[in-house]
Amino acid sequence: MDRIQNFINGAFSDPISNQWIDNYQPATGKVYCEIPASKAEDIDRAYQAAESAFESWSNLKSSERFHHMMNVANGIRERMEEFAQAESKDNGKPVSLARAVDIPRAISNFEFYASAATQFASESHYTEGLGINYTLRRPLGVVGCISPWNLPLYLFSWKIAPALAAGNTVVAKPSEITPMTAFLLSEVLRDVGFPKGVLNIVHGLGPDAGESICMHPGIKAISFTGGTNTGKRIIEKAGTQFKKLSLELGGKNPNLIFADCDYDEMLKTTVQSSFANQGQICLCGSRILVEDSIYEKFKADFVSKVSKMEVGNPALDTTKMGAVVSKPHMEKILSYIEIAKSEGGEVLCGGRRAVLPGELSEGYYVEPTVIENLDQECRTNQEEIFGPVVTIDRFATPAEALQKANATPYGLAASVWTNDLKRAHRVAEALHTGIVWVNCWLQRDLRTPFGGVKNSGVGREGGFEAMQFFTEPKNVCIKY
């Protein structure tokens, strides 16, 4: 059985306990490798390495940090196809998606923040009659980065890159469900001669390795992306130690579709925003709200398109919908479809596990599913399913659309489809979300603030927001 290892202080190592976790391939449902079941003692080793490396890394010129981070970006690019194949095998996502989105974006994350290191500046405030205040922004020290399984390398690098660019050293843990591209990243770090101890990658379970990162007294900040309940637990554990926390959590995003939109473009994008990555993107729209006058047409066209989507082997270039990430996750998704039925929902298409032939017969496949006839207060519309399941509902007025859109405890993202400029601005402002897309979806400019309100998180990633999170501001007041 193949095994991957931790990467601590520039070298590969086994977990101290010599305990291992099975890693499953979602396409086949079979175990294909083992990963370290790291514990607090491994996290402490990683911390010691990061702590030793902090002084030299934080004192490098930003142009030198730029150089090291660009080497990492180039190292991933050179092995692009291998990374894409590994992401697909580990996660179940179509390899074409990993090639087009996940791995290029991970490269961009390192490139973007390599540049940001050289562009970051701090503020000054002139005070009449006194003099000037200026803000020093220094790195925090050793920071922890914890990421989920849905966009494995994409989100892992989205945290690590700004932490490094700002001059911190890092202890990072990818999801135990999708560790493989983080392991390949360790190989790149070794091969490009990335300074030892600056980025340490430790594998293991959330309640063990993850919680040990959050509880380590020397780790100054936690950047976490994952579920809302895990976020709550991290606040309870790490918050009491006064660590800085950035929490990117769950979502239950609405799409608001007005009758005056560009219909064909809306329809095509709504299929994507519902089912890309098997619906396992925190930004997927899972509650589709459609203006009365086009509801029946939308329903017929949408269901017709979704019914034609084929679930297939993620390793094939032609596959658009692959496997969901794990057996428990597949069972959770299927259980929500049953909940929807018990709440009076009518399944318009999909609704079942998809069974593929041959060696894929034990894989974790779910048919893309559209459900109607549910109010916004039911569990199906209130709780995050995080799979290929959407509901459709109607509204008569913009006020009703907004009332329905805002009626969940989540507030990550929303999409609005309209050609009425004034309405687009008004609705965007009134939505209780951190991100609004108008007439598009998932368009990302890496300089913009990224994050949610309500139970979708605390803080913002992206651009200089992340650099500010990973630095401590100190005001210096000078009297003239």
Strand order in the sheet with 131-139: 124-127, 131-139, 471-479
367 given a catalytic annotation:
no
Q: Cα 199 vs. chain centroid, distance in angstroms?
A: 20
Measured CA to CA, the distance from residue 144 to residue 462 in angstroms comes to 17
Residues 279-318 that bind ligand NAD (CB under 6 A): 282
Per the CB < 8 A criterion, the answer to whether 426 and 258 are in contact is no
Taking contact as CB under 6 A, which single stretch among the options 8-16, 51-59, 140-148, 309-317 is the one that binds ligand NAD? Answer: 140-148
Asked if 97 is part of the footprint of ligand NAD (rule: CB under 6 A), the reply reads no
Both tokens of 288, joined, read 């589709």
Per the CB < 8 A criterion, the answer to whether 310 and 425 are in contact is no
Both tokens of 79, joined, read 């092995």
Total of residues contacting ligand NAD (CB under 6 A):
31
Taking contact as CB under 6 A, which single stretch among the options 79-87, 123-131, 171-179, 341-349 is the one that binds ligand NAD? Answer: 171-179
Nearer to ligand NAD, 40 or 192 (CB): 40
Measured CA to CA, the distance from residue 25 to residue 32 in angstroms comes to 6
Nearer to ligand NAD, 175 or 415 (CB): 175
- Which amino acid, 467? M
Interface pattern 368-397 for ligand NAD (x via CB under 6 A): ----------------x-x-----------
Asked if 211 is part of the footprint of ligand NAD (rule: CB under 6 A), the reply reads yes
How does 201-228 read in b/e, with b if 16+ C-beta sit within 10 Å?
bbbbbbebbbbbbbbbeebbbbbbbbbb
The catalytic position among 282, 384, 461, 465 is: 282
Residue closest to 186 by CA, chosen among 201, 175, 165, 196: 201
CB atoms within 10 A of CB 453: 15
Residues 12-71 that bind ligand NAD (CB under 6 A): none
Residues 451-470 that bind ligand NAD (CB under 6 A): 452, 456-457
Q: Cα 438 vs. chain centroid, distance in angstroms?
A: 21
Q: Exactly one of 26, 36, 139, 251 binds ligand NAD (CB under 6 A); which one?
A: 251
Q: Exactly one of 153, 412, 431, 466 binds ligand NAD (CB under 6 A); which one?
A: 412
Asked if 112 is part of the footprint of ligand NAD (rule: CB under 6 A), the reply reads no
Strand order in the sheet with 253-257: 346-349, 369-372, 389-395, 285-291, 253-257, 413-417, 435-438
Both tokens of 67, joined, read 């150089």
Asked if 215 is part of the footprint of ligand NAD (rule: CB under 6 A), the reply reads no
282 given a catalytic annotation:
yes
Nearer to ligand NAD, 29 or 250 (CB): 250
Taking contact as CB under 6 A, which single stretch among the options 74-82, 245-253, 439-447, 465-473 is the one that binds ligand NAD? Answer: 245-253
Residue closest to 223 by CA, chosen among 53, 457, 63, 47: 457
The distance of closest approach from Cβ of residue 154 to ligand NAD in the complex, given in angstroms and rounded to an integer, is: 9
Residues 176-195 that bind ligand NAD (CB under 6 A): 176
Q: What residues act catalytically?
A: 248, 282
The residues that touch ligand NAD, with contacts defined as CB under 6 A, are: 146-150, 155, 173, 175-176, 206-207, 210-211, 214, 225-227, 230, 233-234, 248-251, 282, 384, 386, 412, 452, 456-457
